[in-house]
């Protein structure tokens, strides 16, 4: 009984050690596409992955953000302008990615572009505020993911969605409010 337990615990740690020692290799052949690289976490991630040796395809909302990022890195990081609320913009960026990755596909897709909820009392918010948030943080992410999925599959790649509980919490709060009033 105790021996069984000891063997199980041993196996568990062996498995954990094996998983932790696995590292990603051939970074110079791996393309990672990151949205929202003008500022914040996306900008930081783009520069970090570039430093580690990945091929970074960074999207920015503004040309100024893109130029600044290119200035700070090498030609292993390329930029494209992308507004994730615009279907044509997503289609153009997808073509741009295809040209670069070719048969290798996209190893990583990081959906990072997003906006935050205005920090005002709920009473001051309008339906338009919520629509804008959902348009960027939800529908934008879905359309980018759908558009790039074939390339991600080709590389048996990974998708990372960076999101916020902010809008969710606010929406729940609204619903709760309505219920209380009923
Ligand atoms: N920072 C935090 O502490 C925190 C905590 C919880 C959740 N979050 C959530 O995480 C997300 C990002 O956080 P962050 O601090 O890194 O934010 P950030 O600095 O505002 O970065 C968001 C990025 O997305 C870009 N963007 C906005 N709208 C876009 C659109 N329609 N198409 C393409 N790109 C667009 C922004 O470009 P511009 O700069 O040109 O506008 C910016 O580069 C947000 O959804 C936020 O709510 C953040
Ligand atoms: C990028 O570098 C060029 C040349 O050094 C400089 O003229 C330009 O102002 C820089 N752009 C930004 C946004 O920092
Ligand atoms: C990221 O979001 C897309 C679009 O909603 C979805 O298809 C995908 O499953 C999500 N990926 C993860 C890891 O949550």
Cα distances from 167 to residues 25, 43, 124, in angstroms, run 38, 22, 15
| Ligand 2 centroid from CA 69, angstroms | 10
Distance, in Å, from the CA atom of 57 to the CA atom of 109, rounded to the nearest integer, reads 9
**Sequential DSSP letters for 98-150:** HHHHGGG--SEEEE----PPP-S-GGG--HHHHHHHIIIIIIIHHHHHHHHHH
| Ligand 2 centroid from CA 37, angstroms | 17
Domains and CATH numbers, the chain: 27-181 (3.40.50.720)
The protein residue with its alpha carbon nearest to ligand 2, atom 3, reads 71
Distance, in Å, from the CA atom of 79 to the CA atom of 49, rounded to the nearest integer, reads 14
- Ligand 3 pocket test, pick from 35, 109, 148, 159 with the greatest ligand atom count within 8 Å of Cβ, gives 159
The residues lining ligand 2, judged by C-beta closer than 6 Å to any ligand atom, are 64, 67-68, 71
| Ligand 1 centroid from CA 116, angstroms | 7
How confident is the prediction along the chain (182 residues), in pLDDT tens digits per residue? 888 889 899 999 999 988 888 788 889 999 999 999 999 999 999 999 999 999 999 999 999 999 999 999 999 999 999 999 999 999 999 999 999 999 999 999 999 998 887 788 888 889 999 899 899 999 999 999 999 999 999 999 999 998 766 555 555 554 444 444 33
| Ligand 2 centroid from CA 121, angstroms | 40
The protein residue with its alpha carbon nearest to ligand 1, atom 4, reads 164
Distance, in Å, from the CA atom of 8 to the CA atom of 71, rounded to the nearest integer, reads 53
The residues lining ligand 3, judged by C-beta closer than 6 Å to any ligand atom, are 141-142, 145, 159, 161
């Amino acid at each position: 009984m105790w021996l069984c337990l000891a063997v199980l615990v041993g196996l568990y740690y062996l498995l954990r050690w094996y998983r932790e020692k696995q590292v990603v290799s051939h970074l110079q052949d791996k393309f990672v596409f990151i949205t929202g690289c003008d500022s914040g976490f996306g900008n930081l991630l783009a520069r970090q992955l570039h430093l580690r040796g990945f091929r970074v395809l960074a999207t920015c909302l503004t040309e100024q953000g893109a130029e600044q990022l290119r200035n700070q890195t090498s030609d292993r990081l390329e930029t494209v302008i992308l507004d994730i609320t615009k279907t044509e913009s997503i289609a153009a960026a997808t073509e741009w990615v295809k040209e670069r990755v070719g048969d290798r596909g996209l190893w990583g897709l990081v959906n990072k572009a997003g906006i935050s909820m205005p920090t005002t009392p709920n009473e001051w918010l309008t339906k338009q505020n919520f629509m804008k948030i959902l348009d960027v943080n939800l529908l934008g992410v879905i359309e980018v993911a759908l558009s790039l999925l074939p390339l991600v599959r080709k590389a048996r790649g990974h998708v990372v969605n960076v999101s916020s509980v902010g809008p969710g919490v606010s929406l729940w709060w609204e619903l709760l409010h309505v219920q209380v009033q009923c």
